[in-house]
Amino acid sequence: MQYRHVGNSGLKVSLIGLGCNNFGARMTTEDARPIVHKALDLGVTLFDTADSYGSGGSESALGDILGSQRQDIVLASKFGLSLEDSPRRVVPATRDYIMDAVEGSLRRLQTDWIDLYQLHALHAETAMDEVLRALDDLVTQGKVRHVGCSNLSAWRVVDADWGAETQGLTSFVSSQNEYNLLNRGVEKELLPALREKKMGFLPFYPLAAGVLTGKYHKGGAIPAGTRLDKMDHLVARFFNDETMDIVEALRDFADARGRTLLELSFAWLASRDVIPSIIAGTSRPEQVEANVAAVEWQLTDDEVDEIDRISTLSSDARFGSLFRN
């Protein structure tokens, strides 16, 4: 396992992180237990959850499973999405809300501190200065060690960094957004901004809802039991002619090198210098093994250039952020 620093912070994480959004929602604590243990055995140190995942169930599952091994990992959680309604319903992150949210997360996670506490999304009524001041207080109190953000546009991230710097407050060390070979929108503004500000980038959806696992083929049926089979709203986004043309070209590239499409997807992300860890959710322990093994493939500069050429055959802005800000 490789380990990298998150931006210029002292936070060091495994190149493969475990996304825990399935815990408490699509699987029970006992279903999640072997996945967590496999990740720990393989050297995964970044475990990423949120209070909204499973309406708190993900955090509760991690708290129950980790036990004394909690001190050996980097525990990341988030606040700012409703625990009770749709998981994408953003709520105003006032100071009172943040202070209540962190106590709830600490209780469910059965820990005294969160290594990386992230603003999940920005509500139109949320004042960034208020968020930064509340988070700075949590760092001072020792309840939070580093802070970050998720699903923010580039200008919001830069504005927050400027606000923290000018007011002497704790700055975000990372930004978490969707990024994969089929959605490269963050490359236009966000990634250059993060490099300039010496922040880390934590990509989620590395396999584009499973389309980059190799299970899907152009002109074929959607395999039963897969994520696209269960989530109709993702079909139009990922399972279309334009996207599948790219997928087939990438598959050919991987096949020619005796590799899989999954390995290619992770290895390409690992080649990005601004990325300290790739957040990947799994439903089985063997998937953790596959993800960890994938980043052992170190692409050459020529290979990266060719992959970039293939994967940018589509329009730049097909997807964009999950949240508007």
Q: How far apart are CA 228 and CA 239, in angstroms?
A: 8
* CATH code 3.40.50.2000 for 3-208+267-298: no
**Residue in 262, 243, 235 with CA at minimum distance from that of residue 251:** 262
The encoded tokens of residue 171 equal: 């700055």
- Give CA–CA dist 25/68, Å, rounded: 24
Work out whether strand 144-150 and strand 114-119 pair parallel, antiparallel, or are unpaired. parallel
Catalytic residue numbers read 53
* DSSP count for the chain of H helices, then E strands: 12, 10
Amino acid at 151: N
pTM, to two decimals: 0.91
Tokens 């006032």 identify what position? 94
What is the full DSSP assignment across 219-273? Answer: TSPPPTTSHHHH-GGGHHHHSSHHHHHHHHHHHHHHHTTT--HHHHHHHHHHT-T
| Residue 220 in this model has a pLDDT that exceeds 70 | no
Query: Where do the structural domains in the chain lie, given as residue ranges?
Result: 3-208+267-298
* Residues 274/13, Cβ–Cβ less than 8 Å: no
The predicted pLDDT at position 17 comes to 98
- Chain-wide mean pLDDT for the chain? 90
Predicted confidence band of residue 318 (pLDDT cuts 50, 70, 90): very low
- In this predicted structure, what is the pLDDT of residue 227? 63
Q: Among the listed ranges 57-66, 134-143, 228-237, which one has the minimum average pLDDT value?
A: 228-237
pLDDT-derived band at 24 (thresholds 50, 70, 90) equals: confident
User: What is the arithmetic mean of pLDDT over 192-212?
Assistant: 94
